[in-house]
Amino acid sequence: MNSKKLFTEAKKVIPAGVNSPVRYFEPYPFFVKKSQGSSIWDEDGNQYIDFCNGYGALLLGHRRKEIISAVSNQLKRGTLFCTPTELEIKLSKLIIGNFPSIEKVRLVNTGSEATMTAIRLARGYTKKKKIIKFEGCYHGAHDSVLVKAGSGSAHHGISVSEGGLPEVSKNTLVVQYNNSQELERVLKKNKDVAGVIVEPILANMGLILPEKDFLSDIRKITKNHNVPLIFDEVVTGFRVSPGGAQQHFGIKPDITTLGKALGNGFVIAAVGGRKEIMNQLTPGGKVYQASTFAGNPISVSASIASITTMNKLKNKIYPKLAQYCALLSRAIDDIASDLKIPHQINFTSSMFQIFFTNKPVTDYRTSKKADAKKFQKMFRSLLKSGIFIAPSQFETVFLSDAHTKADLNKTLNAYHTALKSVKN
């Protein structure tokens, strides 16, 4: 019962005992001791096959040798200089090489910082005020995007966070995901829109796929209205393909944000895009962005090793992930059908999620209609069987390159037991 004891201690010194809200679940989260490959171990000695994978960050698995070795080498040379390094040029070139829409890139630390900078850049570049986001998309924990957001904010039923200024949130217009006509209408009515931000694949409301033409339509519409389009690829970048969702769907946004799999477990994110937009950043331009830890050599060397590994092995990694994910999703779908449990399963590349509802899940509203209590029951049963998925209906199940066929078999058995418990 070490985790239980640790949680009691944690609550005394950490608000609600956790450092990020989705980490909490009833009755208490397990405390992790170590990880390797596809597994994590808790303080009670239990082993779990990890399908949370740092909310998608660990595409290559825990403690991937190429990355650990690059970081170990860098540790011998220094951890923080706050003056430029050649490594940053190398990483920027790798990012630009994978993402043709990115001509220049700034490194930051977190996805939230990346989207905050992207939005400020769009405002600075267009000299306009409002931004448009889609219902259920999560772009981090800052005021202008914490409006009808997914992830922990949907899980905990927070539409606009307390402490956020209405003056800020009123400048965020919200449009239904997979509804490009609504975007067109809102853009026609509002002439003061600085940018449109979207998750090209919605991975923070469970998993929701863009319908055919949705992304190409919003690209056309934003172009016609002369409004920068921001692809928030913090989840999809490097995960869906080496060039993210934009490569997969063949769409060029004006600004892109990256994070999570960019560092495969190390703290790094990025914002990049067209030169004339990126050049607005200080000190060249007047859009301010700064950070002590941005481009620190530890994260940068981890990221260089991640991208180099992903690029080198892309013909193995991506087809394997897609194959494993399809196999798992279809088998879970079959189990739930055999048990006659009303459900939907959405999957693509290395991500999937099940929803307990008989209607297709295509946006925030249909995702919210799924039976989240059943999901919690399934989650608890999976955990008992040694399978860790993110503890919320509004998150996604992530595969990593470290998962093996044996992991999949164990996972399917666990889902079988879990789904039977949901039925009762």
Ligand X SMILES: *Cc1c(COP(=O)(O)O)cnc(C)c1O
Active site residues: 138, 232, 260
Cβ atoms of residues 207 and 353 within 8 Å = yes
Tell me how far, at minimum, the Cβ of 14 lies from ligand X, in Å: 17
Tell me how far, at minimum, the Cβ of 138 lies from ligand X, in Å: 5
Token code pair at residue 23: 């980490």
The answer, yes or no, to whether the previous bond of 283 is cis (omega within 30 of 0) is yes
Q: Distance between terminal CA atoms of the chain? A: 28
- Whole-angstrom distance, CA of residue 49 vs CA of residue 225: 47
Tell me how far, at minimum, the Cβ of 412 lies from ligand X, in Å: 27
Tell me how far, at minimum, the Cβ of 395 lies from ligand X, in Å: 9
- Whole-angstrom distance, CA of residue 351 vs CA of residue 195: 28
| 214 or 415: CB nearest ligand X | 214
- Whole-angstrom distance, CA of residue 189 vs CA of residue 68: 52
Tell me how far, at minimum, the Cβ of 179 lies from ligand X, in Å: 19
Token code pair at residue 327: 């196999």
Distances in Å between the Cα of 419 and the Cα atoms of 123, 332, 339, 394, 414 are 47, 9, 8, 18, 9
- Whole-angstrom distance, CA of residue 52 vs CA of residue 353: 12
The residue nearest ligand X at its CB is 111
| 3 or 393: CB nearest ligand X | 393
| 388 or 415: CB nearest ligand X | 388
Binding-site ranges for ligand X (CB under 6 A): 55, 110-112, 115, 138-140, 199, 204, 232, 234-235, 259, 269
Residue in this structure with the two tokens 């000190």, named with its chain if needed: 283
| 22 or 422: CB nearest ligand X | 22
Instruction: Tabulate helix, strand, coil % of the chain (nearest 5).
Output: 45, 15, 40
- Whole-angstrom distance, CA of residue 288 vs CA of residue 118: 11
| 243 or 336: CB nearest ligand X | 243
| 234 or 328: CB nearest ligand X | 234
- Whole-angstrom distance, CA of residue 411 vs CA of residue 387: 7
Tell me how far, at minimum, the Cβ of 110 lies from ligand X, in Å: 4
Residues listed for the chain: 424
For 90-123, letters b (16+ CB in 10 Å) and e give: ebbebbeebbebbebbbbbbbbbbbbbbbbbbbb
